[in-house]
Amino acid sequence: MPKQPRRLEVESITFSSGALRSRELPKTVYKGLWLKLSITHTNGVGPTITADSLMAVLSKINIVINGQDQLKSVPFRHIFYRNQYDFSIAPQSSLFTTNSVQGTSYVWAYLPFAMTRSLNPEDTVLDARKFQSLMLEANWGSSIGTNVTSLDSGTLKIYTDEYSNVDENFAGGRHEENVVSRNLDATGSRTLELEVGSNNQYRRLWIYTRNSSAALSNVQIDNLIVKSRAFNYDNINADALQQFNAWEFAQSPQTGLYVLDFTRDGKLTQRIDARNLSELIVDVNSLVSNGTMEIVKEKAIFA
C-alpha cells in the first residue's frame, strides 16, 4: 500500500518566561511538523516588534530521541528563514503593535524531517515507531521587542505532517540540524571548525551575521570559504553568494543570511562526506570587531 499522508494536532506547549518546556510526540512516521508561535502581550508607547524579535522568544527548538540523541537543535527563527528559501515564500505572521493595549502576535513555521528540495524527500522521513521517546523541547525567552510592557501568555501549537501505512522495514537517512556560533571580534579572517569523522555528512550551511545590536546585517563579512586542508569547497564573495541564493531559491535574499548548498539539483550524493576528513573549516572575512556569526549545520546522514 502507498504511504497515507495525515495531519493531526498535538497538545500545545504553553509559554513560560525563561523556562524549558517539552511535549512528547507520537511515535509515528514524520515528514515534518507545523508550528504556530503565538504570544499575547501588553504594549507600552511606541512598541517595536519584528518577526525576528518575536521569534527570538523561542531561542531554541530541540527534537530529542530517547532522552539523549538530539536530532534537531536550532533557533525557531532559523526554521522560519529556511522556510522562506525552501518554499520561496515567507510563512504567515501577524505583529500586534498598537500602543498601550493588549493583543496577540503570531508566526507560523514548518520544521521538516524529510529533506526539502531533494530529489526524493521520502528517503529522510523520520520513522519514530521504535523509539522509546520523541520529545519536542521549547526554550522560552522573555522578550519579543522593545517597549513591550509584558508577555501575558502564549502557546506553541504543534501539528504533525505524518504517514501511515509505512512498511515496518522502512530504512532511510537522517536529517540533522544543529547550531554553533562565534563572535566576529576582529577584522580579517575568522574561522570555525566543523565536526569531522564519526557520521558527519553536510548538506547545507546556513550562515547568519548580526551586528552589535543583534540585528541581521549584510555588512559584517564580505567573503566565505569552506575548506579541508588545501581543498576549497566554496570560496565566494558574500554579495555573489546572496545573488546565487536568489537564483537557487527564487527568493529575495534575507538580510544577513548566506546559504552554502553543497548539493546540486537535490542530489544528496553530492553532500560533503566528512567521515574521513581530518578537518572542515568555515573561514569568513570579517569587516567588524563587534558582530556575531551563527551557523546552522544541516546534515544528510546515510550509512
Residue 39 β-bridge partners? 105, 154
| pLDDT class of 301 with cuts at 50, 70, 90 | confident
Q: What is the mean pLDDT of the chain?
A: 95
pLDDT of residue 91: 95
User: 3-state DSSP call for residue 192?
Assistant: strand
Q: Cα separation of 153 and 144, whole Å?
A: 12
- Given a contact cutoff of 8 angstroms between Cβ atoms, the answer to whether 115 and 124 are in contact is yes
Residue range 138-143: average pLDDT?
Answer: 97
C-alpha cell at 115: 529533506
Does residue 268 register a pLDDT over 90?
no
Angle at 194 between CA 188 and CA 198, to 5 degrees: 165
Q: Cα separation of 48 and 97, whole Å?
A: 7
What number of other Cβ atoms are within 10 A of residue 45's Cβ? 8
What number of other Cβ atoms are within 10 A of residue 133's Cβ? 13
Give CA torsion, residues 85, 88, 90, 91, to 10 deg.
-90
Residue range 133-147: average pLDDT?
Answer: 97
What sign does the dihedral 239-189-292-83 (CA atoms) show? positive
Q: Cα separation of 178 and 61, whole Å?
A: 10
In the chain, the amino acid numbered 34 is: W
For the segment 73-132, what is each residue's pLDDT rounded down to a tens digit?
999 999 999 999 999 999 999 999 999 999 999 999 999 999 898 888 777 899 999 999
pLDDT of residue 53: 97
For the segment 52-68, what is each residue's pLDDT rounded down to a tens digit?
999 999 999 999 999 99
Rg (CA), the chain: 20
C-alpha cell at 140: 522560552
| pLDDT class of 266 with cuts at 50, 70, 90 | confident
Does residue 247 register a pLDDT over 80?
yes
Residue 165 β-bridge partners? none
pLDDT of residue 1: 62
For the segment 196-218, what is each residue's pLDDT rounded down to a tens digit?
999 999 999 999 999 999 999 99
| pLDDT class of 13 with cuts at 50, 70, 90 | very high
Question: What pTM does this model have?
Answer: 0.95
Residue range 154-165: average pLDDT?
Answer: 95
Least confident of 112-121, 165-174, 207-216, 240-249: 165-174
**Which of 134, 138, 135 has its CA nearest to residue 21?**
138
- Given a contact cutoff of 8 angstroms between Cβ atoms, the answer to whether 103 and 41 are in contact is yes
Q: Cα separation of 22 and 136, whole Å?
A: 6
Reduce the secondary structure of 133-168 to three states and give it as a string: CEEEEEEECCCCCEEEEEEEEEEEEEEEEEEECCCC
